[in-house]
Chains A and B, each alone.
Chain A
Amino acid sequence: GENVEQHPSTLSVQEGDSAVIKCTYSDSASNYFPWYKQELGKGPQLIIDIRSNVGEKKDQRIAVTLNKTAKHFSLHITETQPEDSAVYFCAFQAGTALIFGKGTTLSVSS
């Protein structure tokens, strides 16, 4: 079945550093790739998404890149802040469902 590999599973950075999370997906027909941030005890919050007609999208400190040929997409967070600490999930659309990665726990220390 469809799946997505997400790396790393944990990531610790110093405040102000950049963080990069990478995902590789299986379904070459997918056209939609969202990223979600989940804080403890809360629901996943959509932070950015990209559709397959573009290779990169940026929103302030957050950017996502997509390489459809290689089936890779990545989340880039610049100038990290302590409030960026959370679990981040990549996902891709397979039919009517979103298929999620297992998550990356990002810790930003000040």
Chain B
Amino acid sequence: NAGVMQNPRHLVRRRGQEARLRCSPMKGHSHVYWYRQLPEEGLKFMVYLQKENIIDESGMPKERFSAEFPKEGPSILRIQQVVRGDSAAYFCASSNMENTIYFGEGSWLTVV
């Protein structure tokens, strides 16, 4: 999974604050995915983006969560007004057209 860069690796936010997680895909990849992993559980799909387009956001909570992948710069997962239940590991992944998906090292969000 070397190549998919996520930051920050660890983030602590108080309830009600905003969290912004960033992801730079592997070189040559134009497809970005965000997944969430709760403690001792598998990964849950959140959103799939290509440059400037949200392709599938069927796994995103309806409120407070948004994602973007601008023409320039990293993909951003934004969580507004965080609550304790948002505490989780958030993983970004990327792929090219051949759908082999590689993950980053994750961003661990803790809401206090």
How many residues in B have their beta carbons less than 8 Å from beta carbons of A? 25
Task: List residues 37-67 of chain B with CB under 8 A from any CB of chain A.
Answer: 40-45, 48, 55-56, 58-59
The answer, yes or no, to whether B101 is at the interface (CB within 8 Å) is yes
Are A97 and B100 in contact, CB atoms less than 8 angstroms apart? Answer: no
Are A43 and B1 in contact, CB atoms less than 8 angstroms apart? Answer: yes
User: Contacts A97-B58, A97-B59 known; A46 to B45 CB distance under 8 Å?
Assistant: no
Are B45 and A98 in contact, CB atoms less than 8 angstroms apart? Answer: yes
State which size class the interface on A falls in.
20 to 34
Residues of B within 8 A of A (CB): 1, 4, 6, 33, 35, 40-45, 48, 55-56, 58-59, 91, 99-106
User: Contacts A44-B1, A95-B56 known; A36 to B100 CB distance under 8 Å?
Assistant: no
Are A44 and B103 in contact, CB atoms less than 8 angstroms apart? Answer: yes
